[in-house]
Structure 1
């Protein structure tokens, strides 16, 4: 009931003004009243004007005090006061009434767009169930502490980020990622606020405070996205500041200059034309409908599990000529499995593999996970010293007083470890190891291409967007993945600095280039790209901070969707600009020639604004992908 009362107060001034305007027009034309003449008529329309006109006049005065004389409020104020001055009372009220109605609908549209985005992303429940011994109790989610154990019943939504304590559980992640397929999590897996438990009671240990969850940070990110303005948006705002004083001076010219040339100069007639000119020229429709278009684009992207850090990136992505992708975790699943193991006979007891497992555990690369899955849990008796990472090559340490090397064959060559293996003949990713200066053997690891990767590449090509793949993986592996996906341009065996150089070369030739990777290891490339896109953003805090666009799941088919949303948003924005300017120019000319009325001016201003708003919010109803 309270909400309805607020809405009524919101619309009340316009309702009062509308009822009095309709009654006044009735007294004037439908059933003329003798008493409705002279000062009574003036006072009647003045009262009808005040509910909708006074707020605008106050805004105009406030703008003048701040140095902004030529605002849309100023235009509406002098146009309607001028209409009263020449006796066009109903038209003066109508202009301000419909302007105010337009402002109300514009404000509602903006609030709705913001609310839609917030509702879309803010999937956190207010209350969570905490387990304390054999008892459970419900508390506010914001009061839960790190280390608390939460009980999550089937159908319940997780309120905070945590670690799954139950052996296995399935979650619906669509609220976060836009992905309808359930995700099965094992014990120890990270689970995130907003995920819905599907099948059985699960226990989750809280690992981040309510305000620090990935979802909270993403919500804050998107709510602040509108601070990053698109070039089109910035241009229109600057244009309006120059445009508004120009039309005021032109209106003055329309009113007085004809006195020098016209034989039968009628001041009221030319003032009326000048007032029409002022009403039509008001840029408010453009100023509001353009940011609303970008709101719509950000909201549409959010529905598809894509987060833009600002409307400027919608424009940038719409103009992309080439997409450069990392391989692992972007086009492949990043889940490696050991395929083959080759070691010298004297090391077949497995002790060396435990050394390798211990050293790889110091790395965050998915290869370490694959080796652990093959070898097993870390041997507590293995003690490593002087652990050192060699960028792009591998790891080095001392085990039982002897040098241990684990990495690619470049690492073997760097430390002059002789071997008779032709690395180029091995297709899979290879991890070689040496101990005490002796080559011991190698193992091969394979990654799996993502199910949607081929579709994503085909869609990018159909959009005339080029694709290049860069990877630190061995060239034979990169070639095999590229051929499977239909990528003609690919480069392997790249160190981080090599990736930067290669990317610069591509950018110099291709024009606007986006880079897609994990947003952490590839940070140097992200920094020089026109748009940096992070895959699997919910899994990495650093990704959320560094990338321009975050794809909330790992699906590469969201890349063409993101570009398509950028293109469609830009298209709608320019449709609004063209439509608004076209109609305004037409009515401006007709008004200056005396062929348009104030009612035409109302349509050209408020009508165009409302149509532009409807066009802007259309993108939120569209289906992509």
Structure 2
């Protein structure tokens, strides 16, 4: 503001007032105006030189404006620096807003937790609340820590975490995330994670780290700027002196002025800042929709992806299993069969194991000795004097046990139970396809994903059934974790940009291997979320097409900025060389173009905010998790 007022005063005195020696009035005003805005730029230039970067955009602006003063173009010299600083403030403001919007979106953790203690109710900072403590949350308040609901039923707004505007209903024993807003009656929650380990804290950390990871386009522009800036300085010097040898009437002032315009136009600052700002916008837009990118380079990778491998259970299906039937043979009782299987599964976190436990109807479980998990096949242990096996057909075959099955024709998973080398029976369990899985597959098709393949540890019959319902290209069942890995590795060898989406701990190696590893963040294991490149907080596969849209739109805007900025700069450089441009055109080509590019990048942050990504109102018909085989060792 001070610089602008001084500049306005100097212009009035120079051009609107007629009296002798008025230069003694307007020159100090021009100088003062220049020092106000030019001083900080020269300080940055000297610091850059001290740090080893001689040719920076600060030095370009400094040389150009001092040169303008040297040839008597005071107003243009001050105007260049003034508008340059206005552009700098606009750039920093835009970046600050982009970062702040991300932090504001996610940093929902309250500063106070209401804790039940022996001496009464106490309000403390969430960092001081230990695991296992019971906290209370009033309607309208945010949940301060992750926990387990102790009340029968409650409803929460999780939009800040998942991007899902619809209320999330929870029942007793189900997980509640920090940052959720209690919508109805007061609730009691048992704390399960410390302050630093909540999902909210992890989300915020991931997004902050994401803004530090550069995409190939960013890295290219950073490298280009290091070569580009010194190159234009030498070209400007050549434009000043070389015409002396080639033109008949060489005037130093004329060619020096053209070189100064060349320097102003060539400043890359607006272009360099608008590119990372575009990626910030993409990451922020994704966060608003419950999609976390762990780096801007993954936006570029997802945009190019043409092959996607998908886990089944918990990814395309709900993972909420229920026992459909129990078939006992060889004289075993059905209740005894369930009790033996549940005893072996009592410490399992796998959905199939939980389904069997829920079917015990309160039967007492027996202690298990020498329990062993056999990866991809099942469990073995000793209950009393009996050796019990619970798992799939392969587990029985490994122990030379012949499976006598009366398998249902509907797509149900069959968990086999064997006792002392004898097949005791089969427990039939079913799952459901997620309501939006079909929506996701159609969306991926519409976006040109050429190959959609399901990889599962479940039986081939189950996998074929679900793949047929969804219209997938290929489906491979009965896979162990290393076999999943080999399938994806084979696709990578064919030089296709490959993605993999899963949720189980066994999926972590494959997610790491893929070009784009996508994890279901709500139900996914910590290991899977940690290794993933993209995290879907809502556990909705339909978010993947949304993520692709955001990645492609971000790429489109960034290259619009690059093409527009370079095109205008090149045009004005040519005009400056030919003597057909003034410093005012140079100001537009630098500051004006930068501001337009920044405004274009900012719109990414808001482009997807109001989009309608609603899902089908009715879920598809029930689809079993499987038909004949189970994978009780988390290989789904």
TM-score, with structure 2 as normaliser:
0.93
Kindly indicate whether the alpha-carbon contact (under 8 Å) linking 2:327 and 2:334 is maintained by their aligned counterparts in 1: no
1:421 CA displacement = 2.8
Report the equivalent of 1:534: 519
Q: Where in structure 2 are the equivalents of 1:507-586 lying within 5 Å?
A: 507-509=492-494, 511-518=496-503, 520-537=505-522, 540-586=525-571
Of 27, 47, 60, the residue aligned with 1:42 is: 27
In structure 2, the CA distance between the partners of 1:561 and 1:349, relative to structure 1 (3 Å rule), is closer
Kindly indicate whether the alpha-carbon contact (under 8 Å) linking 2:11 and 2:26 is maintained by their aligned counterparts in 1: no
Residues of 2 paired with 1:223 and 1:599: CA distance? 39
Deviations along 1:107-159, whole A, 9 cap, x unmatched? Answer: 00000000000000111122222223584333333333333321111121101
Residues of 2 paired with 1:422 and 1:414: CA distance? 21
In structure 2, the CA distance between the partners of 1:510 and 1:430, relative to structure 1 (3 Å rule), is farther
Residues of 2 paired with 1:50 and 1:169: CA distance? 62
Report the equivalent of 1:7: none
Of 360, 384, 395, the residue aligned with 1:411 is: 395
Residues of 2 paired with 1:391 and 1:143: CA distance? 39
Residues of 1 paired with 2:504 and 2:518: CA distance? 7
Residues of 1 paired with 2:410 and 2:235: CA distance? 76
> 2:13 aligned with 1:27, yes or no?
yes
Kindly indicate whether the alpha-carbon contact (under 8 Å) linking 1:391 and 1:495 is maintained by their aligned counterparts in 2: yes
Give 4+ residue runs of structure 1 displaced > 6 Å after superposition: none
Deviations along 1:531-559, whole A, 9 cap, x unmatched? Answer: 10001346533233111111101111101
Kindly indicate whether the alpha-carbon contact (under 8 Å) linking 1:98 and 1:602 is maintained by their aligned counterparts in 2: yes
Deviations along 1:208-238, whole A, 9 cap, x unmatched? Answer: 2222211112111111212211000000000
> 2:64 aligned with 1:79, yes or no?
yes
Kindly indicate whether the alpha-carbon contact (under 8 Å) linking 1:21 and 1:45 is maintained by their aligned counterparts in 2: yes
Structure 2 residues not aligned, in runs of 5+: 614-636
Q: Pick which of 160-169 and 308-317 moved more.
A: 160-169
SS in 2 for 1:534: strand
Residues of 2 paired with 1:532 and 1:319: CA distance? 13
Report the equivalent of 1:387: 371
Q: Pick which of 451-460 and 158-167 moved more.
A: 158-167
Residues of 2 paired with 1:62 and 1:538: CA distance? 49
Report the equivalent of 1:602: 587
Report the equivalent of 1:617: 602
Q: Pick which of 501-510 and 236-245 moved more.
A: 501-510
Residues of 1 paired with 2:512 and 2:144: CA distance? 33
Q: Where in structure 2 are the equivalents of 1:38-437 lying within 5 Å?
A: 38-133=23-118, 135-344=120-329, 346-348=331-333, 350-377=335-362, 379-380=364-365, 382-421=366-405, 427-437=411-421
Residues of 1 paired with 2:522 and 2:294: CA distance? 13
Residues of 2 paired with 1:413 and 1:362: CA distance? 25
> 2:488 aligned with 1:499, yes or no?
no
Residues of 1 paired with 2:519 and 2:21: CA distance? 69
Kindly indicate whether the alpha-carbon contact (under 8 Å) linking 1:357 and 1:378 is maintained by their aligned counterparts in 2: no
Residues of 1 paired with 2:179 and 2:86: CA distance? 38
Residues of 2 paired with 1:35 and 1:45: CA distance? 18
Of 445, 455, 471, the residue aligned with 2:429 is: 445
Deviations along 1:472-527, whole A, 9 cap, x unmatched? Answer: 11111111111111112111111111111222233334700110001521122112
Kindly indicate whether the alpha-carbon contact (under 8 Å) linking 1:167 and 1:187 is maintained by their aligned counterparts in 2: yes
Residues of 1 paired with 2:222 and 2:504: CA distance? 33
Tell me how large the CA RMSD over aligned residues is: 1.7
Deviations along 1:389-431, whole A, 9 cap, x unmatched? Answer: 1111111111222221110111111111013337696631110
Kindly indicate whether the alpha-carbon contact (under 8 Å) linking 1:306 and 1:562 is maintained by their aligned counterparts in 2: yes
Kindly indicate whether the alpha-carbon contact (under 8 Å) linking 1:214 and 1:541 is maintained by their aligned counterparts in 2: no
SS in 2 for 1:581: helix
Q: Pick which of 149-158 and 103-112 moved more.
A: 149-158
SS in 1 for 2:506: coil
Report the equivalent of 2:624: none
Deviations along 1:262-294, whole A, 9 cap, x unmatched? Answer: 111110110000000000000101110000000
SS in 1 for 2:204: helix
In structure 2, the CA distance between the partners of 1:262 and 1:480, relative to structure 1 (3 Å rule), is same
Residues of 1 paired with 2:377 and 2:30: CA distance? 82
Residues of 1 paired with 2:172 and 2:522: CA distance? 21
Residues of 1 paired with 2:504 and 2:412: CA distance? 25
Aligned length: 609
SS in 2 for 1:588: helix
Residues of 2 paired with 1:136 and 1:276: CA distance? 70
Q: Pick which of 132-141 and 387-396 moved more.
A: 132-141
Residues of 1 paired with 2:187 and 2:27: CA distance? 72
Of 444, 455, 458, the residue aligned with 2:442 is: 458
Residues of 2 paired with 1:320 and 1:454: CA distance? 19
Kindly indicate whether the alpha-carbon contact (under 8 Å) linking 1:519 and 1:547 is maintained by their aligned counterparts in 2: no
Deviations along 1:300-355, whole A, 9 cap, x unmatched? Answer: 00000000111110111111011111011111011111112100263226223211
Structure 1 residues not aligned, in runs of 5+: 1-14
SS in 2 for 1:318: helix
Residues of 2 paired with 1:447 and 1:352: CA distance? 21
Residues of 1 paired with 2:592 and 2:482: CA distance? 56
SS in 2 for 1:120: helix
